[in-house]
Structure formats: structure tokens, C-alpha cells
């Protein structure tokens, strides 16, 4: 069984250094002929070559002519019959120079390990990993909401101050108290 084990969507520098790593979970070697990968940016990419049992195949952008997205990326793997076998995706902007890794305890960004076992989630340095299911950019909704609430509180306080300082306005709007 093949799976997408790691991929580099946002390499440091030029995007021509992008790659996708496929891992063969079985003990038997397997031909990649007829298999294909699909990314949101392009057409299905036919694969070729051989992947050893419990081995890795690193597919480079230069060799296979695919393009990965730096934000909200995805990679899908299809077998020769056209059946979806595996897929991997993330939301937000991928950290530059870090690969999307898949492990037993989940998916995360970490330092790239093309052609080798992925870093374990617990082994990745804190500042080098980020879970896939959490947006990588902070929410932009909270600051405007906080500003609106703050402005409303200041406006309410100023209005109350004016009404209390001016007796005629106070009587007009608040009645006699």
C-alpha cells in the first residue's frame, strides 16, 4: 500500500525545489507505472519508476512537472485503476522550508527528511512544527471586533458624561430623576 508520507509545498527560495515523498507500507517492491498524483494546481501527474518494500520514493517538481500550493495545499495519490488511495492536505500558509509530515500521531510541519523516515511529532522542535487542522495565520476577525466594542464603550461613556453635565439634555433624554 502506498501513501503520501511527506511533501515540501513551500521550499526556501524558488518553488522548483518542491517534492512529494511516497512511502510503500508493504514488504514487496512496487512499480509506480500507472499511479498518479493530483494537486489543486495541476492536471494528474503520471508516475514512473520503482519503490522498494518499506521504502520511499521522492518525486521532484523538476522530474515530474507538478506544482504545489503554498497555502491551503493538497496532494492526492491514485492507483492504476483510478481509485483514490491516499490524500494529504493542510489549511493556511505552509511555513517556508518546512515539509508537511504524516506520522502515527497526526500531521504536522517539520524540517524536511526526503527519502528517510519522517520526524516523529514529539521529536520535532516546538518552533518547527504545526498541526495541520489549525489555521497557520492568526484570526483576523478578533482585532476588528475588539476595536468595535472598545469604540462603542467609549462612545457610551462620552454620551453619558454629556447628558449628566448638561441638565437640559439630561431632562430631555433621561427625564427628571
Cα–Cα distance, 162 to 133 (Å, whole number): 50
User: What's the confidence (pLDDT) of residue 14?
Assistant: 82
User: What's the confidence (pLDDT) of residue 173?
Assistant: 67
Q: Phi and psi of 70, rounded to 5°?
A: -80, -20
Residues 86 and 31 in one domain: yes
Residues spanned by the domain of 168:
142-174
Residues 166 and 118 in one domain: no
User: Is the pLDDT score of 33 beyond 70?
Assistant: yes
Q: How far is CA 82 from CA 38, 77, 86, 113, 144, in A?
A: 11, 9, 12, 29, 47
Residues 147 and 114 in one domain: no
- Taking only the tens place, the pLDDT of each residue in 99-152 is 888 877 667 888 888 888 886 654 443 334 444 444 445 445 556 667 778 888
**Which DSSP letter does residue 57 get?**
E
Please give the tally of structural domains in the chain. Answer: 2
CATH number at residue 48: 2.60.40
Cα–Cα distance, 57 to 49 (Å, whole number): 9
- Taking only the tens place, the pLDDT of each residue in 63-97 is 998 888 888 888 999 999 999 999 888 888 889 99
Cα–Cα distance, 58 to 55 (Å, whole number): 10
Let me know if residue 13 belongs to a domain. yes
pLDDT category at 30 given cuts 50, 70, 90 is: very high
Let me know if residue 136 belongs to a domain. no
Residues 159 and 123 in one domain: no
Query: Cβ distance 25 to 46 under 8 Å?
Result: no
Between residues 2 and 124, the one the model is more confident about: 2
Is residue 20 exposed (0-12), middle (13-18) or buried (19+ Cβ within 10 Å)?
A: buried
Residues 165 and 122 in one domain: no
User: Is the pLDDT score of 54 beyond 90?
Assistant: yes
pLDDT category at 177 given cuts 50, 70, 90 is: low
Query: Cβ distance 26 to 1 under 8 Å?
Result: yes
Residues 52 and 117 in one domain: yes
User: Is the pLDDT score of 39 beyond 80?
Assistant: yes
Between residues 170 and 86, the one the model is more confident about: 86
Let me know if residue 137 belongs to a domain. no
- b/e per residue, 96-116, with b = 16+ CB within 10 A? eebbbbbbeeebbbbebeeee
Q: Phi and psi of 79, rounded to 5°?
A: -80, 175
Residues 9 and 71 in one domain: yes
Residues 91 and 160 in one domain: no
Strands (E), 90-173: 99-103, 106-110
Let me know if residue 134 belongs to a domain. no
pLDDT category at 43 given cuts 50, 70, 90 is: confident
Which secondary-structure segment (H or E) carries 6? strand 2-8
Amino acid at each position: 500500500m502506498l501513501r503520501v508520507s511527506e511533501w515540501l509545498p513551500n521550499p526556501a527560495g524558488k518553488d522548483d525545489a518542491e517534492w512529494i515523498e511516497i512511502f510503500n507500507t508493504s514488504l514487496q517492491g512496487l512499480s509506480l507505472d500507472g499511479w498518479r498524483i493530483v494537486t489543486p494546481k495541476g492536471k494528474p501527474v503520471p508516475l514512473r519508476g520503482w519503490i522498494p518494500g518499506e521504502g520511499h520514493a521522492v518525486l521532484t517538481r523538476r522530474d515530474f512537472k507538478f506544482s504545489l500550493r503554498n497555502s491551503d495545499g493538497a496532494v492526492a495519490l491514485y492507483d492504476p485503476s483510478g481509485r483514490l488511495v491516499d490524500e494529504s492536505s493542510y489549511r493556511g500558509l505552509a511555513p517556508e522550508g518546512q515539509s508537511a509530515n504524516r506520522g502515527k500521531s497526526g500531521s504536522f510541519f517539520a524540517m524536511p527528511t526526503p527519502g528517510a523516515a519522517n520526524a516523529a511529532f514529539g521529536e520535532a522542535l516546538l518552533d518547527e512544527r504545526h498541526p495541520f487542522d489549525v489555521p497557520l495565520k492568526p484570526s483576523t476577525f478578533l482585532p476588528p471586533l475588539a476595536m468595535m466594542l472598545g469604540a462603542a464603550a467609549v462612545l457610551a461613556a462620552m454620551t453619558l458624561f454629556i447628558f449628566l453635565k448638561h441638565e437640559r439634555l439630561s431632562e430631555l433624554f433621561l427625564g427628571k430623576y
